[in-house]
Structure 1
Amino acid sequence: MAVAVMASSTITPHSTLQNVHLHRRAFVPHCRILLNSGRLSSSVAVNIPQALSTTAAVEGGSFSETDADPVPKVIIDQDSDANATVVEITFGDRLGALLDTMHALKNLGLNVVKANVFLDSSGKHNMFAITRADTGRKVEDPELLEAIRLTIINNLIEYHPESSSQLAMGVAFGIVPPKQEVDVDIATHINIYDDGPDRSLLCVESADRPGLLVDLVKIITDINIAVKSGEFDTEGLLAKAKFHVSYRDKAIIRPLQQVLANSLRYFLRRPTTEDASF
């Protein structure tokens, strides 16, 4: 989790879901989502507006194709604040007040409770803490976290359409799809490490796509493994997740680790002709 100092005001650290880096021009986001609960809820219904058309975006003067575009980062951080989900957006020196992004998050039933801006060698960082409007607490529902992630990415594509070709989400609701495809078999990596007597650390890397966060949590919980906390990073075409998991409040034993890894690989890998013939 990247930490930058030099803030004009600080977001008080706490614990649970938090890590977002947003950006608004050329966008290869780095989304981190930290989870505190393995439960899935079906109560979240979100209508994410589509990005602007290519014509509208070009007329708006924001579209450009250049290798010099900064790498956008979106982090949803659940650990650094006990009472709020911290969202951090970095995109070189191109970010403004992000009022459009905050407005989009409010449309999800969220409140922006405090904000902070600071500069470092990687550019301008915009951080703000968000809570659920109905409870005043941080966001813990994986489905709502995924909705936040998709809303942020869609917002980036809308205001910086050149980012569409750098994101896996460009295929789903972008203007220009990515120029390259990720080989799922090569890109998928699953590792499980011991992380003390009470939990294990599950690391998953694979091709990104809408809904991936919710699906990963569902697969984990379907085999009765609890998700204690987590971090979800979206980096361009790839998704990188880290989940602290346990089985009956204990670290996962080796045989169950293998079951978990096999279940995730089966879900994530690309189906082959031979598999389809069985």
Structure 2
Amino acid sequence: MRIDLHTHSSVSDGTRPPAEVMRRAALAGLDVVALTDHDTTRGWDEARAALPGGLTFVPGMELSCELDGRSLHLLAYYFDPDDPELSAELARIQEARDTRGRAMVERLRELGSSVTLEQVERIADGARIGRPHIARAMVEAGTVASPDEAFTEEWIGGDGRAYVTRYGLDPARAVRLVRDAGGVSVLAHPRVRRGGEVFDDEVIRTLAGTGLDGVEIDHPGHEPDDRDALRVLAAELGLVGTGSSDDHGELSGDRIGCETTDPEAFERLVARAGGAR
């Protein structure tokens, strides 16, 4: 059984519509796939309606958090999307995304880029503005040659000249919100050393103590040594170790299914959920 628990669609910052993500999941030989768009469940209905026979859909989301001024992402699964407290926080995060996007475009223009808000909004196509949308607009405007070049200190990387911070949930509170909504939570890609945020063992231990259910281990951005270390830590803390592609369509090279979760680990994760399975 092949299971991918981290994918994105054009509802957030992927390039493929939810229905296309499901079709590509089946073509990649997956048996189970989660749709985990950033801070939204808006793609779930389309994904379910387009689900090919034999493919199981896992309802999910990648929740934006902030820890000591750094961006931390939490994968949430099987939660009630109508939970009032979680829904209120999602609305706040989404509004902050739009404000941040406009501010980053303004900074880019001040730095000499010809990128416009209209370009970014067209690329986002109704989704909340994220940095990948801005990066694609920068390519279109000739500011950079590829989206990867945008995610640097020169432009919109974490310490970049045009980077703007945004509202994110405290991770411990986010874990609690997901749990109270009947779901389970997994720390996303904690050891991506190139262009990502790296979180040490102490952070993972602390989150495990607040009710975190799992940690993403087999991720395209994780080196072998980091995967081995995370596996040992997950076993020590009783966390479920997952594997996922973090596919964003064309933006990530259409890599859905390139990393997968062990079926036994998936069953352990499902057993912890009390939400809308």
Task: State whether TM-score is above 0.5.
Answer: no
Q: Which has the higher strand share?
A: 1
Q: Higher helix proportion, which one?
A: 2
TM-score (norm 2): 0.29
TM-score by length of 1: 0.28
